[in-house]
């Protein structure tokens, strides 16, 4: 298939473009959020930068939407309406905001564009009305077992911790300094020690590293600390587990499913988590064993092959459903007859 998808979430897309399709990534002169293209990522050749001005002439089988504005944008750029004459799915990365249980999804009650959630928690909490929904859990490109834990410090990966505050658990970081030092990775971490009036050696900003360097730097630290209260399941958590890092994580959203017993310390009790972090920092052998269990758990649930198989099934089902209802699934000559047929039901309700 030829799949149209904007580069919105680099970590998630890193797994998606490893499949067997051609992936058309819109690019414009600004290379901003609506035309980033590959964004300098080391992706397979099948991830193709497509100038926005050429999309009307491209042969596109399906579009994976990730922002509501992409529905109208796709029609503007391709001349085809997502869900009507272009097969489409909407990929929802995030937890609902502002309300946890009562926020209506922007595509609620639409029957022509299925909503794909990346976690079961998100599917449960978003109000999608009668819109068909499915869960395809994350897939991770395995970086391999790299854990050494030689540096007796905790690692945190977070973006904009000053601005996002309690959402990402920024306020919880001082409690863990009682267990040991923390190294911060991600966008906007440099100003956090000053904002919290904490010595930079105890709360040490490392910066926003590219994926290859991050995968080298993280497993040198002994513990991975994951504290978001209300975000979707962070890919950095799953990547740390793949690296073989033991985890200390706040029991929020999907974490208890991602980190099974034996793979780390998971709790809503902050004192328990601090004690767990201290134990792992002081006992490298225990940390290594728990990290190995974390890697096994991550490989079993978030493996790349399973992820790509489920996406292949969904994209094929959506395209087939469109054909069966007599709608076009690709750019065709005007005189080409369209297929007729009855409704198509996906195994998960599509």
pLDDT in tens, 178-229: 999 999 999 999 999 999 999 999 999 999 999 999 999 999 999 999 999 9
Compute the distance between CA of residue 209 and CA of residue 215 in angstroms, rounded to an integer. 9
Instruction: Please tell me the predicted confidence (pLDDT) of residue 278.
Output: 98
| 155 and 270 assigned to the same domain | yes
Q: What is the DSSP letter of 120?
A: H
Question: What's the mean pLDDT when you consider all of the chain?
Answer: 92
For the chain, give the percent of residues with pLDDT over 70.
92
Residue 329 lies in a domain: no
Residue 349 lies in a domain: no
Which residue range is the domain that position 9 belongs to? Answer: 2-139+305-324
Confidence of residue 322 (pLDDT cuts 50, 70, 90): low
Confidence of residue 320 (pLDDT cuts 50, 70, 90): confident
| 12 and 44 assigned to the same domain | yes
Residue 319 lies in a domain: yes
Q: Is the pLDDT of residue 96 over 80?
A: yes
Compute the distance between CA of residue 141 and CA of residue 16 in angstroms, rounded to an integer. 10
Q: Is the pLDDT of residue 331 over 50?
A: no
For the chain, give the percent of residues with pLDDT over 90.
91
Q: Is the pLDDT of residue 323 over 70?
A: no
Residue 8 lies in a domain: yes
| 158 and 268 assigned to the same domain | yes
Q: Is the pLDDT of residue 162 over 70?
A: yes
Q: Is the pLDDT of residue 335 over 80?
A: no
Give phi and psi for 4, each to the nearest 5. Answer: -90, 125
| 204 and 130 assigned to the same domain | no
How would you class 245 by CB atoms within 10 Å of its CB: exposed for 0-12, middle for 13-18, buried for 19 or more? Answer: buried
Residue 194 lies in a domain: yes
Strands of the 182-185 sheet, one edge to the other: 203-207, 182-185, 151-157, 221-226, 247-250, 264-267
Residue 321: how many CA atoms within 13 Å on its side-chain side? 25
Q: Is the pLDDT of residue 245 over 50?
A: yes
| 178 and 68 assigned to the same domain | no
User: Cβ distance 227 to 172 under 8 Å?
Assistant: yes
Instruction: Please tell me the predicted confidence (pLDDT) of residue 324.
Output: 54
pTM tops 0.85: yes
């Amino acid at each position: 298939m030829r799949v149209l998808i904007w580069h919105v979430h680099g970590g998630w897309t890193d797994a998606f473009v490893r499949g067997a399709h051609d992936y058309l990534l819109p690019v414009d002169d600004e290379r901003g959020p609506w035309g980033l293209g590959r964004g300098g990522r080391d992706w397979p050749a099948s991830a193709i930068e497509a100038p926005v001005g050429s999309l009307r002439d491209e042969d596109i089988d399906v579009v994976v939407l990730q922002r509501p504005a992409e529905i109208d944008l796709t029609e503007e750029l391709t001349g085809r309406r997502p869900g009507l004459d272009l097969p489409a799915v909407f990929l929802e990365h995030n937890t609902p905001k502002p309300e946890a249980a009562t926020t209506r999804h922007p595509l609620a009650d639409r029957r022509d564009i299925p909503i794909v959630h990346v976690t079961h928690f998100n599917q449960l909490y978003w109000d999608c009305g009668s819109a068909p929904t499915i869960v395809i859990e994350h897939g991770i490109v395995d970086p391999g077992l790299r854990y050494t834990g030689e540096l007796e410090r905790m690692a945190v990966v977070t973006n904009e911790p000053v601005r996002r505050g309690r959402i990402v658990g920024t306020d919880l970081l001082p409690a863990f300094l009682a267990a040991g030092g923390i190294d911060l990775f991600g966008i906007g971490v440099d100003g956090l020690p000053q904002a919290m009036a904490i010595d930079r050696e105890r709360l040490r900003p490392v910066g926003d590293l590219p994926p290859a360097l991050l995968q080298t730097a993280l497993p040198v630290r002994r513990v991975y600390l994951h504290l978001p209260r209300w975000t979707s399941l962070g890919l950095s958590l799953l990547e740390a587990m793949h690296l073989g890092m033991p985890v200390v994580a706040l029991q929020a959203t999907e974490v208890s499913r991602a980190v099974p017993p034996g793979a780390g310390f998971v709790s809503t009790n902050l004192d328990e988590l601090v004690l767990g972090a201290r134990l792992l920092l002081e006992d490298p052998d225990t940390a290594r064993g728990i990290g190995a269990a974390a890697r096994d758990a991550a490989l079993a649930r978030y493996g790349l092959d399973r992820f790509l198989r489920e996406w292949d099934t969904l994209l094929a089902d959506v395209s087939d459903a469109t054909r069966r209802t007599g709608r076009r699934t690709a750019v065709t000559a005007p005189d080409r007859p369209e297929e007729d047929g009855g409704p198509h039901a996906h195994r998960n309700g599509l």
